[in-house]
Amino acid sequence: MVLVCLLAYYGREGTFILPSLNRKRVSAVAIRGKSLISPDDFTVEELQQVVTTANEMMDTGIDSYGDLCKGKILATLFYEPSTRTRLSFETAMLRMGGSVLGFGDANTSSVSKGESIADTARVISYYADVAVMRHPKEGAPKLAAQYATIPFINGGDGGHQHPTQTLTDLVTIARYKGDLAQQVVAFCGDLKFGRTVHSLIRTLARMQVKKFVLISPEELTLPTHLYREVQAKGVPMEVTTCLEEVIPEVDVLYMTRIQRERFFNEADYQRLKDTYILDARKMEGAKRDMIVMHPLPRVNEIAYEIDDDPRAIYFKQSECGVYARMALMALQLGVM
């Protein structure tokens, strides 16, 4: 039976332990009207509030929030293809009784006519109450937030940040594993270009996870500046190219795909794409309570035979993403 648990924050920033269920909720006032471009924009306490709210929503049931955002409008500005991020945001707002407008292809917007991000953000501020932007260029959502008068959310910018995937991952780990201070978290695959990895590892370092294990080809290692930043937080790190050697010590295995769209030439992608494939044989060496996560989409880095393993929770992770985004927008809009 899966232990359902929430994270709770006590004392100094970065200390997480299992909660008391009757503990008073942290004030959500600070999140109201606040944009989320990077996980660093929120304090650990504010991140914890989103995680706690999302888990409470899951426990209560989605039908309990059907009128929460009645009359509110979400703008989805997707300059880059997306399935889970865009649809989970739209689902989240619709589940709370709000409405959605926007585009999933920049060529159908005035961007094709040369409109700047700044002008788009100004205009959208008159049409919606909150907005999410995905863009191939790093820093584009940050620029938009500077000109908007409504909360802006970064839905992913190039290989830079993906803060709501980080919230999704925190909600998932909290629900299925609990105390972060006890977890050995392994990242496997593309650590160089993986924006989900970049956002999550920085955030988990702030929260003082027990240990990181970094598994990647030498060509796709974590960027040096990010490695040093995490190292400065004092979290132990192990670097390796071999998944089989380290999987017995791992509590949370975060698989990522080798991203074809981030490569400058096809030959390099073809050479590296099958470096790591998680299959039943490799899972034999893992802990019985280890969880396997993946931001999706997967290509072939997780064999389909793993889907039936109770430790594989990447589809449940997608479900957690809806609640994470519901909680975030509800808090930003001040309706919770």
pLDDT at 111: 65
What pLDDT, on the 0 to 100 scale, is given for residue 196?
A: 87
Residue type at 103 in one-letter notation: F
Rounded alpha-carbon distances, angstroms, from residue 224 to 26, 30, 134, 192: 35, 33, 25, 9
CA distance 197 to 298: 15
Q: Considering just the CA atoms, what is the radius of gyration of the chain in Å?
A: 19
Shared domain check, 170 and 62: no
Q: Are 90 and 169 part of one and the same domain? A: no
Q: Quick one: 210 exposed, middle or buried, by C-beta within 10 A (0-12, 13-18, 19+)?
A: middle
**At 210, phi and psi to the nearest 5?**
-65, -45
User: Would 134 be classed as within a structural domain?
Assistant: yes
Residue 272 covered by a domain: yes
> Is residue 3 in a domain?
no
pLDDT confidence of residue 133: 95
- 209 and 121 in a common domain: no
Is residue 5 situated within a structural domain?
A: no
What range does the domain containing 113 cover?
Answer: 10-15+24-161+321-332
Separation CA 175–CA 2 (nearest Å): 9
Q: DSSP per residue over 154-223, as a string?
A: EEEETTTB-HHHHHHHHHHHHHHT--GGG-EEEEES--SS-HHHHHHHHHHHHTT-SEEEEE--GGGPPP
Residue 187 forms part of a structural domain: yes
Contact 84, 321 (CB under 8 A): yes
Instruction: With CA atoms as reference, report the closest residue to 62 among 94, 20, 108.
Output: 94
Same domain, 171 and 270: yes
- The whole-number pLDDT of residue 28 equals 60
Q: 309 and 171, same structural domain?
A: yes
With respect to residue 74, please indicate whether it lies within any of the assigned structural domains. Answer: yes
Same structural domain, 218 and 284: yes
In a domain, 242, yes or no: yes
Residues 198 and 262 in one domain: yes
Q: Are residues 244 and 266 in the same domain?
A: yes
The number of folded domains in the chain is 2
Q: From CA 336, how far away is CA 331, in angstroms rounded?
A: 6
Residues 35 and 144 occupy one common structural domain: yes
Is 130 found in the same domain as 43? yes
Q: Could you tell me the CATH number of the domain that includes residue 306?
A: 3.40.50.1370
Residues 261 and 328 in one domain: no
SS3 of residue 307 by DSSP:
helix
The confidence score (pLDDT) of residue 298 equals 87
List, run by run, the mean pLDDT of 10-residue segments along the chain (336 residues): 36 35 51 95 95 96 94 94 89 98 74 81 97 92 96 86 93 93 94 88 94 93 94 95 96 85 60 81 97 92 96 96 98 96
Would 4 be classed as within a structural domain?
no
Same domain for 103 and 219? Answer: no
What's the residue count for the chain? 336
Q: How confident is the model at residue 115, as a pLDDT?
A: 80
Q: What is the pTM of this model?
A: 0.86
Active-site residue numbers?
84-85, 113, 134, 162
Owner of token pair 């914890």: 48
